[in-house]
Amino acid sequence: MLFGQLYTKFTGGFETKYEVTSLNTKKLFADALKQIVVQKSFSKVTVSELIRVCNVNRKTFYYHFTDVYDLLKWTLEQEAIDVVKNFDLIIDYEEAILFVMDYIEKNDVFLNNIYYSVGRDELKRFFYADFIEITTSVIKKIEELTEITVPKEFETFLSCFYTEAIAGTLLEWIINKEKHDKQQVINYIFLIFRTALPETIKQYSSSEQMSSRVSF
């Protein structure tokens, strides 16, 4: 029994230590990527250059990432998207959007280079799946709060519609920050999610109920 407890404690500690080491290695590559991209186009970044900056071998890179694009996706998720997922997006949506826009400002050169290296559509593709997951979670929470459940196809439509709007707004912010007031953009997005989206769900429910009565 004692041996089993010691074994579990040992292996658990080993796994935790390994996970921390792996995460630190990934962050090392992420920092190297950002450092290099400030100086040259992302499309010209090579694995050889990354491992030279990190002072590790090629095997270490491929153990953690499939290619440089995979590293870029992980970097964006780790530093921005995963953080946003930890917010309560009904209560703290304004703070979540502010965090993303602050991240864009702090990483201005890096993100601009990525934008012009891979293109608008390709950059949007990197985080679209994560954004639509976030938007869908907001819609589901609104359904819970309003006690209204909409059909899956309409829920999917709303998720795609609002994800496109947010992604487009943030991509515009990356390249044209000087043309837009940050707080005003945040207020607009916040207004839409706190008023327009719940009202759309309510209106859909009302129209469905009215159609049912007419059919009856």
Q: How is the chain split into domains, by residue range?
A: 1-65, 69-216
pLDDT bin (cut points 50, 70, 90) of residue 10 is: very low
Residue 89 confidence (pLDDT): 59
User: Quick one: CA dihedral 99, 101, 197, 130, positive or negative?
Assistant: negative
- Tell me the mean pLDDT in the region 25-37: 94
- The pLDDT tens digits for 129-169 are 777 877 888 888 889 888 999 999 999 999 999 888 888 88
The arithmetic mean of pLDDT across residues 104-131, rounded, is: 82
Kindly give the residue spans of alpha helices, DSSP state H, lying in 88-196.
Answer: 93-106, 108-118, 120-146, 152-175, 182-191
**CA neighbor of 156 nearest in space, from 142, 140, 167, 172:** 140
What pLDDT score does 4 carry?
Answer: 43
Q: Tokens representing 135?
A: 């938007």
The per-residue pLDDT for 3 is 38
Q: 0.75 exceeded by the pTM?
A: no
CATH pick for 69-216 out of 1.10.357.10, 1.20.120.160, 3.40.1590.10, 3.30.1480.10: 1.10.357.10
Burial (Cβ within 10 Å: 0-12, 13-18, ≥19) of residue 61: buried
* DSSP state letter for 148: -
Which CATH class, in words, describes the domain spanning 1-65? mainly alpha
State the chain's mean pLDDT as an integer: 81
Lowest mean pLDDT among 17-21, 36-40, 193-197: 17-21
Q: Note the pLDDT of residue 19.
A: 56
